Amino acid sequence: MSYNFKILSIIFVCITILSCKESEIKPLTEHYQKEGVEFNYNSDWVLEESGSNNISFLLFKKVNDDDFRANINLLVAEKGPSIDFETHISSNKNYLLLEKTKILEEKIVSINGNNAYRIVYEKNLEGNNYTILQYLLLIRNKAYTITFISKRKYYKQNIKEVDEIINTFKFES
C-alpha cells in the first residue's frame, strides 16, 4: 500500500509540474516591412495585407478560437499638425466611453522609443465576448492604432505572444 501511495504521489507531482509549465513562444522569424512600418512575428500567425479601410494588414492566429481567429491589425490615418498625443488619446477614449465599453487597463508605454497609449477593454459584439488591446501612437502627423482582438476566454493564453510581437514594431522616423 505504501509503495502505491509513493508512485501516485510522484505521478501527481510530475503532472502538476508539467501543467504549470508556460507554453513556449516560437521565435519571431517572420518579418514585415512596408510603408514605414516593420515588425516581427512567428509562423503561428498568417499575414494578410488587406489595404482596405486604412488597415495596413491583418495578422491572424493560425489556430481557430472556436469560430473566430484572434488577430492583430494596424490602422494608419493622417492627422493634422494641430492634433497632439493627449487629444488623440482623449478622442479615442471618449468614443469608447460613449459605447459603454468596460475599460480594464490603460497606461502610457513605449514601443521602440515612441510613446503609446495602451488600453485594454471588453466588448460584446454580435453575442460574443471579446477582449481588445489597443496601442495608440501619433508619429509625424500619422495616427497608428495597433489592435489585438480575441475572444475573452482566449485573451490570457495569447497576450504574452502578442506583447512580444507588438514590442518589435518600428515606425519610420
How many domains does the chain fold into? 1
Residue 130 is predicted with a pLDDT of 94
Residue 10 included in any domain = no
Mean pLDDT of 156-162: 93
Mean pLDDT of 14-26: 51
E strand map for the chain: 30-34, 37-41, 45-48, 55-61, 71-78, 102-111, 114-125, 128-139, 142-151, 170-171
Q: The domain containing residue 31 runs over which residues?
A: 27-171
Q: What share of the chain in percent tops pLDDT 70?
A: 80
Rounded to the nearest integer, the mean pLDDT of the chain is: 83
Pairing of strands 30-34, 142-151: unpaired
User: Considering only 57-66, 92-101, 114-123, which range has the smallest mean pLDDT?
Assistant: 57-66
Residue 112 included in any domain = yes
Please count the other Cβ atoms lying within 10 Å of the Cβ belonging to residue 117: 21
pLDDT band at 11; cut points 50, 70, 90: low
Residue 3 is predicted with a pLDDT of 59
User: Considering only 17-26, 35-44, 78-87, 157-166, which range has the smallest mean pLDDT?
Assistant: 17-26
pLDDT at 13 over 50: no
Give the predicted TM-score (pTM) of the model: 0.81
Residue 19 included in any domain = no
- HSE (side-chain half, CA atoms, 13 Å) at 49: 5
**pLDDT higher at 55 or 124:** 124
Residue 173 is predicted with a pLDDT of 65
Residue 6 included in any domain = no
| Domain CATH for 69 | 3.40.1000.10
Residue 18 included in any domain = no
Residue 5 included in any domain = no
Residue 46 included in any domain = yes
Residue 2 is predicted with a pLDDT of 59
Residue 15 included in any domain = no
CA dihedral 31, 136, 129, 73 (to 10 degrees): -30
pLDDT at 79 over 80: yes
pLDDT at 47 over 50: yes
Residue 122 is predicted with a pLDDT of 95
